[in-house]
Amino acid sequence: MTEDVKMKAAMPWAGPVLCSLAFGLLALSVSAPAHAADQANGKSFVEKFDKLDRSRWYISDGWANGDHQNCTWSAKQVSVADGKLSLGFAKQDYKDRNHVCGEVQTFKRFGYGAFEVRMKAAAGSGLNTGFFSYIGPTHKQPHDEIDFEVLGRDASTVQVNQYVDGKSVGSAKKVAVPGGADKGFHDYAFVWEKDRIAWYVDGKLVEEATDPAKLPSHPSKIYLSLWGSDTLTAWMGPFTEPGAPVAAEIDRVAYTAAGEACQFPESIVCKLKQGTQ
């Protein structure tokens, strides 16, 4: 995902009036403070969405990330029912866009550990379902992130990637999702360590990064989002009007800090400790 997308997504306090100021910050060089790893303030958790915990999740509402995004974040596109979080995308006028879409982000920042989600993505050319970590200039940090993104033009795959100091340094590799990311719930996990990132789909290792120059190092917030674009056609495909509201569903999100015990049986942390991966 492009820098300006992540920049604006990381700004819960910013409305459209501040967009130009925020984007201007991207051009600035932001120096990493000493002991950046010490800035993590998030602890291990398992979120099963029995309710929407407003102390953990901020709901994006009332702005878009830039001209490339054809929807406005809307709190009405975020809901919880039957133990699942729903992030919607629908045709509806809101602010200066004629579509609305949903995103949540954590208030806290998380350091090295296992980041996991069980989700069903939305299909449709021009749509993007994302699970990622991000921190950036608006937090007075360099832009670091680690991604899982399902591009709805081909929901049989998920793309993995990472950014360091605002630059895409990963493979942007597309990985097959057995049965399709939009056809059922699948488990996506990345284990972020000081000297390695490993991505897993349904418990299977699908990609890793070990080059020190290609490893984020700053504690980051966790994001879940569904959005669309009319302009990023080379990456996301031509936008096709869904015709009816669509949604991505999230059954569980978890973070396990490095060195801590496995929190639930299906966790990648359990599988790694059992030596099954």
Q: Which positions are annotated as active-site residues?
A: 145, 149
- Give the separation between CA 242 and CA 210, rounded to whole angstroms: 39
Which residue, among 9, 23, 7, 53, has the nearest Cα to 227 in the 3D structure? 9
Q: Are 89 and 242 in contact (CB under 8 A)?
A: yes
Q: Are 161 and 171 in contact (CB under 8 A)?
A: yes
- Give the separation between CA 156 and CA 151, rounded to whole angstroms: 9
- Give the separation between CA 49 and CA 40, rounded to whole angstroms: 23
Which residue, among 192, 245, 242, has the nearest Cα to 214 in the 3D structure? 192
Q: Between the CA of residue 182 and those of 130, 156, 168, 185, 223, what are the distances in Å? A: 13, 8, 26, 8, 19
Which residue, among 95, 67, 264, has the nearest Cα to 76 in the 3D structure? 95
What does 164-204 look like in DSSP terms, one character per residue?
ETTEE-S--EEEE-TT-TTTS-EEEEEEEETTEEEEEETTE
Q: Name the H helices within the chain.
A: 3-9, 19-25, 233-236, 268-273
